[in-house]
Chains A and B, each alone.
Chain A
Amino acid sequence: MSDRVEIIAGERPIREINREIRAAVAEGEPVVVRDTLSRHNLGIGLAEGADIRFEGSVGYYCGGLNNGGTVHVTRNAGWGTGEAMAKGHITVDGYAGMSVGASMRGGIIHVKGDAGPRCGVAMKGGDIVVEGTVGFLTGFMAHTGRIIAVGGAGEACGDSLWGGEVWVGGPIHSLGVDSKVIEPEADEVADVERLLASLGIDGSHDWKKIVSAQRLWHFESRDASAWLMI
């Protein structure tokens, strides 16, 4: 029923599993990994053209350092999914744990459920799209890149943003330190809607764009109280 190369993870060493994934990718074969047991470090450093489906939940850092591969997790993902990825496309059907897309530089991470705290922490490029809500401290210290939370955002949204953007289509529980909501330009909204449409998501929302208020970019003693909140 599946024309994919099948790899059973189980209790085997992660290095062995990742070697098998890389070997299949080198042959140009799409892969399905079963019996994932929420294990860490699955599908790290994938090359351009890799197409991996993880049947079940995965642990920490799945798809980390991705360099152009396509990753699909059919249930939940743990901490640091797609950490430091350069390019590629990661889809999580369920809940993406803490720090999804941490330090990512490019590519797309698409979460169909909710995302945990510190979504897109220190990201330096690319897009994170969360159909549900994003958790506490979303976009914490994001340099560049875009986080799009269709369903809403939790506490301290956009805390200590540098140059990144957080787009929220639903309610925002609270804004973080030194972040502000601004009115997006029509062409920016069109770009977000185009991206969502490419993922099969209705993009017609009352978008709130959160950016840095830039008070923390340079230290000034009159802002000491804001710094102390961090």
Chain B
Amino acid sequence: MCGIAGRICAPPGRVGHDLVELMQAQRHRGSDSTGFGLYGIPRDTGYVVRAVAAERSRLSTLLDSFLEATRAHGADFSADPTWDELSQKHVSVRAEITEPSDSVEAWLADADHIDGFEIQSVGRSLEIVKDLGDAYAVADKHGVRDFIGTHGIANARMATESFVSPTASHPFWARPYPDIAIVHNGQLTNYFLLTDKLVRKGYDFKTQNDSEVIAIWLSDQMAAGRTLVESLELSKTALDGCFTYILATPDTLGFAKDKFAIKPLVVVEEESGSVAIGTEEQAVRKVYRDEIDVINYDGPLISATWAVPQAVPA
């Protein structure tokens, strides 16, 4: 099943808080893991990195390896990395780095291949926080409610295609493209073929999850010159299965849906530009409590986009 959500705050605001409420209301759709892709106020230079270290006991060694790989590309920590202080085996790490002197791709070719240290997102503004448990559990652990930003996406996962772990959950970052992520409700049946083609082109996949391919496939289309809208359009038939997914970039949220039209999407659009998206209307009512006009994107083969009002860089 799975539940998904999206939120645009105009002006920038409590996007973390709102997404937590949208997701907690949909926890019955799957709460083995919950994840948030949050867009803060974008920086001019450098990146924020979210990662998971598989073993707490090895954290300092893994961070040293990551720093070494980063320094090899002319970048460095721009602030001390932070991590959760809980007793779980895995550790969620947040780091900020300066601009690599060559390219993000070259840096990731080294920094994203450290055994036991998996990068979950890289962005000027995107931060992906995903972990085991329902929305409140993940929010309590990672302080998601305090996140102020422009927009974001979220997912409550009921695993069908791969195992339950923080890294195999949503959102999926479009590795190696900064600031692009997706959340997905459904199952893809041709992901193996699509993944295989993209691997041959040099893309790097970290999980066996069917959804991971969506973000990378879309980014590959856009890198080849297609617009975001064209890529969404093409995905409706290029992806096979039943799906409704939300794509997030720094300036847009977009969604697309397959020909079977079985995965719902409910949207509230405000004149201000604020948008709330959920799989179920009752989730959207957590943000808009009063009776409000909702758009039900119920038909087959449909897509839409919403512009994110641009924030002034910090």
A and B, one complex?
A: yes
A39 B299 Cβ-Cβ under 8 A:
no
Total of A-B residue pairs, C-beta within 8 Å: 49
CA distance A79 to B280 in the complex (A): 9
- The yes or no answer to B296 lying at the interface (CB within 8 A) is yes
Chain A at the B interface: SS class: loop
Interface membership of chain B positions 111-153, coded 1 if the CB is closer than 8 angstroms to chain A and 0 otherwise: 0000000000000000000000000000000000000000000
**Distance in angstroms between the alpha carbons of A116 and B298 in the assembled complex:** 6
Interface check A56, CB cutoff 8 A: yes
The SS class assigned to the B binding surface is loop
Q: Does A107 contact B (CB under 8 A)?
A: no
State the Cβ distance, B33 to closest chain A Cβ, in Å.
22
**Inter-subunit contact A57/B298 (CB<8 Å):** no
A59 lies within 8 A of B298 (CB): no
A10 to B48, CA, bound (A): 40
- Give CA–CA (A59, B294) in the complex, Å: 13
Residue in A56, A76, A116, A136 whose CB lies within 8 Å of B294: A76
Instruction: Name A53-90 residues within 8 Å CB distance of B.
Output: 56-57, 59-60, 75-76, 78-79
Bound-state Cα–Cα, A125 to B16, Å: 47
A123 within 8 A of B: no
**In the bound complex, how far is the Cα of B262 from the Cα of A135, in angstroms?**
12
Contact pick for A78, options B262, B280, B289, B291, CB 8 Å: B280
Q: Are B300 and A117 in contact (CB under 8 A)?
A: yes
Taking CB atoms and an 8 Å cut-off, the chain A residues in 112-167 that contact chain B are 116-117, 135-137, 154-155
**Of the residues A39, A75, A116, contact of B296 by C-beta under 8 Å:** A116
Q: How far is the CB of A93 from chain B (nearest CB, A)?
A: 12
- Report if B281 contacts A (CB, 8 A): yes
Assembled-state Cα–Cα distance A154/B300 (Å): 10
Say whether B299 contacts A136, CB under 8 Å: yes
User: CA of A154 to CA of B261 in the docked complex: distance in angstroms?
Assistant: 13
In the complex formed, the residue of A with least CB distance to B283 is A38
Interface flags, B173-206, vs A, CB<8A=1, else 0: 0000000000000000000000000000000000
**Interface presence of B14 (CB below 8 A):** no
CB contacts (< 8 Å) of A98 on chain B: these are 262, 264, 298
* Residue B73 lies at the interface, judged by CB distance under 8 Å to chain A: no
Cross-chain contact B296 with A95 (CB below 8 angstroms) = yes
What 0/1 pattern do residues 36 to 52 of A give for CB contact below 8 A with B? 01111000000000000
Q: Considering the complex, which residues of chain B in the window 257-311 have a beta carbon less than 8 Å from any beta carbon of chain A?
A: 261-262, 264, 280-282, 284-285, 289, 291, 294, 296, 298-300
Asked if A38 and B298 sit within 8 Å, CB to CB, the answer is no
Q: Would you call B282 and A117 a contact (CB within 8 A)? A: no
Residues A135 and B282 in contact in the complex (CB < 8 Å), given A37-B289, A56-B291? no
> Cβ of A59 and Cβ of B281 under 8 Å apart?
yes
Q: Are B291 and A75 in contact (CB under 8 A)?
A: yes
Nearest CB of A to B185, in Å: 14
Chain A residue contacts of B280, Cβ below 8 A: 38, 40, 59-60, 78
- Name A's B-contacting residues (CB within 8 A): 37-40, 56-57, 59-60, 75-76, 78-79, 95, 97-98, 116-117, 135-137, 154-155
8 contacts between A and B (CB under 8 A): A56-B291, A57-B291, A78-B280, A78-B281, A117-B299, A135-B298, A136-B298, A137-B261
